[in-house]
Amino acid sequence: MPRTAMLRRLVLALGLALAAVPANAQAPAPSPAAPPVRIIIAWPPGGTTDFVTRLYARHLGELLGQSFVVENRPGGGGSIAWRAVAGARPDGTTLLLTENSLATAPPLMPDLGLDVRADFTPVSLLVDYPSVIAVPAALPVQTLAELVALARRDPNALNFGSMGNGSSLHLYTEVLQDAGGFRMTHVPYRGAGPAFTDLVAGRIQVLLAAPPTVLGAVRGGQVRVLAIGTAGGRVPAFPNVPTAREAGVDFPLAYWYGLFGPRGLDASVAARLLDGVRRANALPEVQARFAEQGAIPRGEDGAALARLLAEDLARWTAIIREKGIAQ
């Protein structure tokens, strides 16, 4: 066979073979010209925010064919990370993944140095973690109603822990107390870890945390979850635990996680990222990981995230001022 004819046949065969490969058989290769995307978070490695960020970074990289790198920038109550993103170029290469502390910080930090509503472009409301109302297994209450009754009988009987004055755990518990008509004594800690350690030891009696904080101790029989705070229904990680509303207390607050870019982020870039988030949330692996942690994938757009941020900012500003809470 002439050499040119043989080469033609080889090229034709290779083309047919490539055409037979499904388009979604593998993730798109990153473009050599595409710079890596930094997702900055305000907390050190190992916590729930870090887990959420790394899960999305991996799958967004695979789905969008671009490198996504997690950068932990703890310090300043979150302000170091927030300022880094607010001051970045709005080209889609620097993003912020944050929980709802972005909405609680402004009334607590007058010198924050940025406007959380104006200096960021909301991209997507990613996922919710219900707030779990946890007590030591040795505490003689089995339901939220029994906890409320105990606190009403003796306001000095119960201590609740938090990550510090003005932290989400502190503010959420203030809302729970107002909704249930009872009071407890606040014990602030420097982080959720020390508060959880004292919960297990019985030195505090109540902790409102995200599910991953307590799941191991619940399965080990050291901690009991009385109810969950969520606007939705029960979650698979706690199938037998009622929502607070089911238990008679109107407490729908969950911990939300959102993705933001700097102010002026191009709408097409935001739309591409939102598409990636929604495709990631539809992956069986992502759904399974979140389900085992008690989380609820959302994937709502930037407008929904902007509304939630505005509502939370108004709520927490009013509560912080009304109760005179300071860091």
pLDDT of residue 43: 85
pLDDT of residue 158: 96
Q: What percentage of the chain reaches a pLDDT higher than 70?
A: 90
pLDDT of residue 33: 62
Average pLDDT over residues 255-275: 97
Average pLDDT over residues 236-251: 94
Phi-psi region of 38 (alpha: psi -120 to 50; beta: other; left: phi over 0): beta
pLDDT band at 124 (very low <50, low <70, confident <90, very high): very high
48, pLDDT greater than 50: yes
Average pLDDT over residues 207-211: 93
- Nearest-angstrom CA–CA distance, 299 and 296: 10
- Nearest-angstrom CA–CA distance, 287 and 124: 17
Q: Which long-range contacts (CB under 8 A, 24 or more apart) does 180-184 make?
A: 180/144, 180/148, 180/151, 180/249, 180/251, 181/148, 181/152, 182/148, 182/151, 182/152, 182/155, 183/151, 183/155, 184/151, 184/155, 184/158, 184/159, 184/160
Please give the full DSSP string across 32-59, using - where no structure is assigned.
Answer: TTPPPEEEEESS-TTSHHHHHHHHHHHH
pLDDT of residue 317: 95
Contact 165, 188 (CB under 8 A): yes
Q: What percentage of the chain reaches a pLDDT higher than 90?
A: 75
Cα-trace Rg, the chain: 23
The structure tokens listed for 297 are: 């994938």
Average pLDDT over residues 15-33: 43
The residue with tokens 């700097």 is: 262
Q: Which residue has the higher pLDDT, 30 or 50?
A: 50
Parallel, antiparallel or unpaired: strands 68-72 and 37-41: parallel
Q: Which of 317, 322, 326 is nearest to 104 (CA)?
A: 317
pLDDT band at 27 (very low <50, low <70, confident <90, very high): very low
Average pLDDT over residues 266-295: 96
Mean residue pLDDT across the chain? 89
Question: What 3-state class would DSSP assign to 69?
Answer: strand
What domains are there in the chain, each with its CATH number?
A: 37-127+256-323 (3.40.190.150), 129-254 (3.40.190.10)
pLDDT of residue 326: 85
Average pLDDT over residues 231-235: 90
Helix (H), strand (E) counts: the chain: 11, 10
Q: Which residue has the higher pLDDT, 28 or 140?
A: 140
26, pLDDT greater than 80: no
- Nearest-angstrom CA–CA distance, 242 and 248: 10
- Nearest-angstrom CA–CA distance, 230 and 151: 22
Average pLDDT over residues 130-149: 96
Q: Which of 189, 191, 187 is nearest to 74 (CA)?
A: 191
The residue with tokens 């107002």 is: 178
Average pLDDT over residues 240-256: 95
67-112 pLDDT, tens digit per residue, is 999 999 988 888 999 999 999 999 999 999 999 999 999 999 988 8
Least confident of 27-41, 98-112, 240-254: 27-41
Burial class (CB in 10 A: 0-12, 13-18, 19+), 59: buried
The b-or-e profile of 193-227 (16+ CB within 10 A means b, else e) is: eebbebbbeeebbbbbbbbbbbbebbeeebbbbbb
**Going by C-beta distance under 8 Å and a sequence separation of 6 or more, which residues neighbour residue 53?**
39, 41, 70, 97
**Going by C-beta distance under 8 Å and a sequence separation of 6 or more, which residues neighbour residue 126?**
52, 56, 97, 256, 257, 258, 259, 277, 281, 297, 298, 299
**Going by C-beta distance under 8 Å and a sequence separation of 6 or more, which residues neighbour residue 88?**
94, 262
12, pLDDT greater than 60: no
286-323 pLDDT, tens digit per residue, is 999 999 999 999 999 999 999 999 999 999 999 999 99
